[in-house]
Chains A and B, each alone.
Chain A
Amino acid sequence: MKELRVKLGAARSHLTTALESLGLSLPILGLFAALAIIPAFVSDQYVLTLMISCLLFGAQAMAFDFTAGFINVVNFGFSGLVGLGAYTSALLVLKLGVDPWFGLIGATVAAALAGLIIGLLTLRLSGIFAALMAWFAGLTLLSVATVLVDLTRGMLGLNVPLFLDTAARRPYYYILLPIAIGVYIVVRVIANSDVGLACRAIGQNLDMARASGVQPKKYRVVNFTVSSAIAGLLGGYYAHYLGILTPNVMATSHTIEVLVLAYIGGRGSIWGGLVAAFLIIPIFEYLKPLMEIRLVLYGAFLVVATILYPQGLAGLVEALRAWIRRPDETGDQEQVNLSLK
């Protein structure tokens, strides 16, 4: 009897470690469970559409945070890669008659290749130069998509076949959910591995990272490629979910929306972007009658958050946790930090 209990205990701790290594701590599992269950009871198409938007933007923010929060390079051409994925998948389906599901693979591969190239190009550049280079690459994709009218119909837009023959939103949500969870797990696993550790080291202090034998170049390229591949995959989903594709998907403003979510969520937290998406997008949807004023608020939000609380949601949660766990030790902690400085 006792033996069995010990075995069970061991099995449980095995399970927790296995889950932890996938980045699935209890709150995160709860979040995913809620995301999986709630839509089953929602029949309002409008709410479901909104949830898809949150999930889609949240997943993009996670991929974005993987470069911005870890190697500290802002991929300002992010929407270009999303758009590249979207157009690749759409054109594969339209011109070659490929199934949309295989289109997604094409989208991922194309964006990964582009990410690899951008990663290689930005290798020698320091932070802001790399961001600029990525921006220029994204804009190049945008202007090429606009100019190649024979292929993309330019600003007129493409009519893209959908995944399913239904207008109902719920199936689309359940297509996206595993993708989003997969994105989280992939990013988390890499972040927890040696590669992730090296990336974090590069982002925090490049010289120190070099001194401890980390090769920044390799990790930067790997990081960029993975993040871009995810962007492409999500772009492919976007194309076959919406059914209409214009070069506007690559506009810089789209990158900014993702960037705001990632930064409000908390740099380097990964989950922060997803949570931020589910908090911020509904609020701004609710404010829709305000028209452009809500975009003014969006900008103001970014400015104020950067100045007042750059740690974002993740920092807030961290602070709350510390406060709950040891309400009287935080003071000591601060003193230790001070003396270390």
Chain B
Amino acid sequence: MLLTDIVDLLVTGIVRGGIYALMALGLALVFGVMNVCNFAHGELYMVGAFAAYFAFAQFGLPPLLAILFAGVIGFAFGVVIEVSVFYPLRKRVKEEWVINTFLVTVGLSFMLQNLSFVIWGHKYRGIEAYWTGSLRITPGMTISLDRVASLLIAAATIVIFWLFLRRTQLGRAIRAVSQDERGAALVGIDLDRIHALTFGLSSMLAAVAGASLLSVTQTYPAMGAKPLLSSWLVVTMVGLGNVSGSVVGGFIVGILEAGSYYFLGAGWQTAISLVVLMLILVLKPSGLFGTQVKGVLER
């Protein structure tokens, strides 16, 4: 194995990992704050990709605006889902919350995916590129500008999001709810509002991820399955609900997948990452950086 191969591998892995980190961040957020196991996360990725496609290819918005537009649409979807599904669920069903959220989101995923088939049909829609051109990294390897951009967008989104959680009043409120719901309510935080905001933000992250990869993966109603699996891999690996760990985990899974692709060829990377993950779960059930998150390790 040559040095250039290693560089290739790392670059591919990191580019891939940026998007996984973005997806996993949203997943970890709703789990940490609301204890929701979201299996419709991939569908929000799909919504984002479609929104960006129409904004960019049909309405001719500039790339960054198209991705931003996708983020806004994703946010709106998330808020609507929280208000119309999780709010009534929270009020009506008191027991087995985690499993119920899992069932509900499985149903939502089925609905959204097939609704999208109804509206857009079995057709792949894609764009050539947001930004044409490519970057030369090693003599044997070039990387398209779009992939670089997707990594940059992911990184920027994560940083902005991080600052939002750390530095703003709303971000602090979200973190307070994730630490202690009752305490947060006692100091006057409106839980319903925070829940809606959290789910909206998480959906926005997924939508941005889908939008920024538009030129790499074409839009298709069932496109959410793969990113859903990858982001679940990441959050389980680092420990459910661990927000900062999920960013690191995204890159680990990205590099792992690139590595198994390189050594074993196409097709095996899913099996390999799954097996590695199962080993981690067996040896360290609360994840690599597992911290106590409410409700997860109740047993």
Contact = CB atoms under 8 A, between A and B. Distances in A.
Interface string B231-261: 0110010001000000000000000000000
A259 B103 contact: yes
A135 to B, nearest CB: 8
Contact of B89 (A131, A146, A307): A307
Contacts of A298: 110, 114
Given A140-B271, A295-B110, A308-B92, A127 B99 contact: yes
A293 B104 contact: no
Given A125-B285, A296-B115, A303-B111, A136 B106 contact: no
Given A126-B297, A128-B98, A147-B271, A296 B111 contact: yes
Interface string A126-140: 111101110111011
A307 B108 CA distance: 12
Interface stretch (B139-147, B179-187, B198-206, B275-283): B275-283
A126 B114 contact: no
A147 B236 CA distance: 24
A126 B89 CA distance: 22
B102 A126 contact: no
Nearest to B35: A128
Contact of B96 (A72, A144, A291): A72
Listed residue (B229, B271, B277, B282) with the most chain A CB atoms within 10 angstroms of its CB? B271
A194 interface: no
B267 interface: yes
Interface in B177-231: 225, 229
Nearest to B91: A307
Interface in B62-115: 85, 88-89, 92-93, 96, 98-100, 102-104, 106-115
A143 B274 contact: yes
A169 B260 CA distance: 45
Name the interface size band of chain A: 35 or more
B107 A129 contact: no
Contacts of B92: 307-308
A247 to B, nearest CB: 11
A306 interface: yes
B285 A124 contact: yes
A300 interface: yes
A131 B271 contact: no
B267 A147 contact: yes
A139 B270 contact: yes
7 contacts: A72-B99, A121-B278, A140-B275, A296-B114, A299-B107, A301-B107, A306-B100
Interface of A: 72, 74, 121, 124-129, 131-133, 135-137, 139-140, 143-144, 146-147, 206, 252-253, 256, 259-260, 263, 291-293, 295-296, 298-303, 306-308, 310
Given A206-B299, A303-B111, 15 more contacts: A72-B96, A126-B297, A129-B236, A129-B281, A129-B296, A136-B233, A137-B278, A147-B267, A259-B106, A291-B118, A295-B110, A296-B114, A299-B112, A303-B108, A306-B89
Closest 10 A-B residue pairs measured CB to CB? A299-B110, A302-B107, A299-B111, A295-B114, A303-B107, A147-B267, A126-B299, A292-B117, A292-B114, A299-B107
